[in-house]
Structure 1
Amino acid sequence: FIKALKSYQDHNWPKLREDLLNLYDADLATTTYRQKDLLRFVKESRGKSLRNLTQWKRYCRRFIRIAGYLKQKSKINEDEYDTYFWAGIPKAFRNNIEARLLTKDPSRDMSKPFGYDDIDKVATAYLQRDKFPTMIIDSDSEDDDTTLSDLSEDTSDSEESDSDSDDERDRRRKKKEKKKTALKKTLKKKRPAKVVDDDDEEDEKPIRRGKNPAQADKQKHEEVEGLIRQLNKMSIDDTEYGATYYKALKIDSDIAKVVRPPQI
């Protein structure tokens, strides 16, 4: 197809480029961005974290894709370009970059935004992968099994900690405390209530044990003997004789064999 174009046959390369762009509708194929797209990207980016060089480079590429297009189309100027770039950096990391930039130029005019190149240079140096702590092993370490990768992880953790502002630390700490509290409440709700069975209640009550059978028989025998002696001392005509007799008879029916019954 390209070889069939007259501009190609005439070796007119500028014309060939123009023909190709026209035929393939380059304006339609090119993604267009608006300023609100850049604003949305900045708001999303500032809410994320930038903890390593890979994340930083990804942020730069995405920013240039949108903001570079708008600047090329004169939708934003150079100062706006730099301001948007600065605003899209998370606050904690932005504070670290600002401190290093001001160290280089303490008296700079703060009414002007930091330039893209200056910001990128400081951020890249701060996030560089081959920092010296990752290249050595502490000879005084008590753990002989410490490896270089372990030190790298420790250094990375330290960088992440340094990148966080006090506000972010407090916010994360409060968030963790809320999660712990919510978890405790959930576990408390899920914990089954202690069911008290009627049988359990009866088991918990002190058991009233009956008297020893041998002891009961002995007591019964003594009571019967006492009633017999009492009846023998009483007159059969005594008014209490009948009541005592039947009391003894109720305890032991053999009373009728040894004691005279009352007269009716």
Structure 2
Amino acid sequence: MRVIESSWQPTAVELGHLTPEHQEMIVQAIAEGTEQRASAASDEHGQEIRRLAVIEYTSPLGITRHSVVLTDPDGTETVDFDDDAAADRYYEEQVREYASTTDAPAAWDESDVENVALAPYTWTLYARVPDGDWERTRSGTSQLGARLDDTMDTEPATLEQAAEAILDHAAATQLGYNREIAISHAAGDITTLRLFDAMRIEVTGDPGHGTTTITRTEDVPLHTPTAEEIDTYRRTMDEIARQEEEYDHYAY
């Protein structure tokens, strides 16, 4: 590991391991490199104030190397590695250290490091009775970067992503319910499922730059059953009833 630039610790130039000219060439090469991973945080105006990134670059000697570059209100630092695994380990260690020591609601708004505690948020889901009133149906809490739950296999990194994931899942689920309700009613049956024609999500959190609420709405089409769907439903219900009769008969 080589410290190319740092606001906190001796650099390779200061230690006599690099000449100032070689350092300048490395800094330029890193600036022209490719970002592989990153974690970031913004202020109350949405301006990025902290970024930690893994940069792959080609050294002045033509060798592929990796650096971890930090930009922070308190200073900057560029640490250089010839092993990408070592760079990844150092990057993740630094991300976790900031997450555990920063006093703000979250050291990072976005991060690709597993299980790093990002900003907490709450969400509330509403459903609309066809052309009528909105009803609150579900609510919950989570953290950015954490898995929502077992039914939504996603780990949103922003409030916007959380709102989109929850709303998409709810709308898709309700679309299935609307279909089931329409078919069962057309066949003369009654279901306990509720019919809704729109879903709305409100996600509120403080990702480090003030409390924000994201609101999204999505229409959910009602279903008009076909004769084939009704016939299939009736045959399915008849088969279920027949099997239940057989079970009751042989149970005694």
TM-score range, shorter chain: under 0.3
* Bigger strand share: 2
| Bigger Cα Rg | 1
TM-score of the pair, normalised by structure 1: 0.21
Q: Which has the higher contact order (CA 8 A, sep 6+)?
A: 2
Name the TM-score, length of structure 2 as normaliser.
0.22
Considering fraction of residues, name the structure with more helix. Answer: 1
